[in-house]
A and B are shown apart, each in its own frame.
Chain A
């Protein structure tokens, strides 16, 4: 599953040079300034600092219970930080009540008002703003059309399918044109196919309405698909904030490498580290050379992260004596477009490799029990010091 689904889909984000986080003059739309939140002995968010820029689709990704929802709720105004500040457009909103914040949230449970119709739900927020009736009607009609909810105006939430409810919840939040739209696991209740379609729909909506989205998810595939940047969280802290491809290709720690997609973590010690690259000696696969520049000195214990799809599998012995290892095919997982080969080196160490099934299954040249050689390019490995 993991090995093939996590490959970053570059088409979604090579749209142009949208990278305000690299511009030192860009002003963030949202700024968390050393915010902390504790619950009865649990530290949900731990002195976390984060900038989110206008027009971004930002994903908070992390295992369940790492504090993603708490962080989002502090931005929505449902929770007050114990320490630190939350800023919107440079203004401190830490103590502003939820109903006065120009942000809107799509709840994980959707939280649709069961006594109101679809129209009543979508118009609810506009009515609170005291907008004139015809403007409410016009904006509601536009939003219902955008989310393909026309004809359902008079239905109650219990008369809708799960996907329709999800779209009503989205319409209800979007119709207010929030400065930031917050989405807490918005697609968790949908089936896989609908989830995939909705991810792309979210991206289209964000572009079309020119809004800023912050999504919370524990599904890395989802974060990879929709986000401009991902903040990987654990135990209330941000471990890495970067674009999906950076997170995947250049994880900053063993934890991130392991959390995002499938990875082979090869422990070893630095032999040589300079501007040209790094040489690592490992007990399991011998000498590794990578082009990556590591912030480490000879003798330091490091790990080399190797993605399965970056490892080539072959029967014949390759040339050279680094970045190669011989093993025995132990298990093969057929995934349709890809196959995962688990290759045993010596007694215990297993390396996962993935190869596209470009030839048909019956012609697959490598079988269980075969002796094979694994090789990888010098730019494939990432040296992790943490």
Chain B
């Protein structure tokens, strides 16, 4: 209660300022600066040079060279994104796959999280471990494992044949189904854990109150459980949707060679065509697309913090 124990804003020590500064410095050094570099490259022109774009920024040359540098920047890379249907269809395909697989993840992940939250206390730790356990193996190895499972004479087809479910082995690998299987498998924990976190601290007496007021259990699920789990559902969905849009490894290894997701297009521009400006433009637009759900996510989180729950 004494004023001395309540530090005022202007009385912050250097130590306190440093602590606040560190995350900002980190973000500036490892996120903002790289982004500005990518943004600058996206405004450059392709060139058979080292590095493969022009103009180069020479800050030692004074004001005149700087003006020349700026005048050589162009939006040609961005114009190509619109004019060449390859890019638009890649973006579209990425968004469609991300949307569809997020929906699948939600349908699959919610019951898992619900089951975990309602399991006896002493089991919850084990279930939690089981969900997290796959992370202890390399992601790449797990995708390769799926390749062998899904290939023509892989485990899946062997099992289907042995059980007599099919006569001729269906093709899994190099199809969109394989992509969905890989994505849903990989991202499931990101959907389950945030939902579990909201369900797990839900007060059991709320359901009793709902029942007491004449609401049967199934209805209470929609009227109480889902609204209260909404922050977890939104967090889980965005946590899945955002990286799936940019996913490269799964469609590249499990998917076919036809239509590409935007991550594959980007990879091709960068390593195949060595067109750094085009690749950078693709990356910048991708980021711009994902800013919307990111800001949405921040907004939801901030609102929850404000409410203090």
Q: Which residues of A contact B (CB under 8 A)?
A: 76-78, 97-100, 103-105, 107, 109, 111-115, 124-125, 128-129, 156, 158, 172-173, 176
Contact = CB atoms under 8 A, between A and B. Distances in A.
Nearest to B204: A111
A100 B209 CA distance: 13
A131 B214 CA distance: 12
A115 B228 contact: yes
A316 B165 CA distance: 105
Contacts of B309: 114, 158
Contacts of A107: 205, 208-209
Contacts of A104: 212-213
Contact of A109 (B203, B216, B307, B308): B203
A124 B228 contact: no
A176 B214 contact: yes
A353 B168 CA distance: 96
B25 interface: no
9 contacts: A76-B212, A97-B216, A111-B206, A112-B209, A115-B230, A124-B210, A124-B223, A128-B214, A173-B212
Secondary structure type dominating chain B contacts? helix
A365 B205 CA distance: 56
B228 A105 contact: no
Nearest to B207: A111
A249 to B, nearest CB: 37
Contacts of A76: 208, 212
A370 B24 CA distance: 77
A370 to B, nearest CB: 45
Interface residues of B, number: 22
Contacts of B243: none
Given A113-B224, A114-B228, A98 B205 contact: no
B211 interface: yes
Contacts of A128: 213-215, 219
A129 to B, nearest CB: 6
B125 interface: no
B208 A98 contact: yes
Given A98-B212, A113-B224, A115-B228, 16 more contacts: A98-B211, A99-B215, A99-B216, A103-B212, A104-B213, A111-B203, A111-B208, A112-B209, A115-B227, A124-B223, A125-B214, A128-B219, A158-B309, A173-B212, A173-B213, A176-B214
A200 B215 CA distance: 31
4 interchain residue pairs of minimum CB distance: A125-B213, A128-B214, A111-B209, A111-B205
A107 to B, nearest CB: 5
B308 to A, nearest CB: 7
A78 B223 CA distance: 19
A297 to B, nearest CB: 52
A158 B214 CA distance: 24
A172 B208 contact: no
A172 B223 CA distance: 16
Interface in B57-93: none
A124 B227 contact: no
A115 B233 CA distance: 15
A246 to B, nearest CB: 32
A157 to B, nearest CB: 10
A176 B208 contact: no
A152 to B, nearest CB: 17
Contact of B215 (A77, A105, A124, A173): A124
Contacts of B223: 124
Nearest to B215: A128
Contacts of A113: 206, 209-210, 224
A99 B228 contact: no
A124 B222 CA distance: 13
Interface in B190-222: 203, 205-206, 208-217, 219
A114 B307 CA distance: 10
B211 A97 contact: yes
Q: Pick the most buried of A77, A98, A109: most chain B CB atoms within 10 A of its CB.
A: A98
B275 to A, nearest CB: 50
A273 to B, nearest CB: 51
B200 to A, nearest CB: 15
Contacts of B215: 99, 124-125, 128
A56 to B, nearest CB: 20
B211 to A, nearest CB: 4
A99 B212 contact: yes
Nearest to B209: A111
Q: Pick the most buried of B213, B219, B307: most chain A CB atoms within 10 A of its CB.
A: B213
Contacts of B307: 156, 158
A122 to B, nearest CB: 10
A149 to B, nearest CB: 17
Interface in B157-213: 203, 205-206, 208-213
A78 B208 contact: yes
A172 B213 contact: yes
Contacts of B208: 76, 78, 98, 105, 107, 111
A79 to B, nearest CB: 10
Nearest to B227: A115
A147 to B, nearest CB: 16
Nearest to B226: A115
A208 B203 CA distance: 33
B31 to A, nearest CB: 34
A35 to B, nearest CB: 19
A124 B213 contact: yes
A105 B212 CA distance: 7
A367 to B, nearest CB: 41
Nearest to B217: A99
A104 B219 CA distance: 18
Nearest to A175: B213
A76 to B, nearest CB: 6
Interface in B277-309: 307-309
A236 to B, nearest CB: 21
A104 B208 CA distance: 11
Nearest to A102: B214
Nearest to A125: B213
B105 to A, nearest CB: 24
A125 B224 CA distance: 13
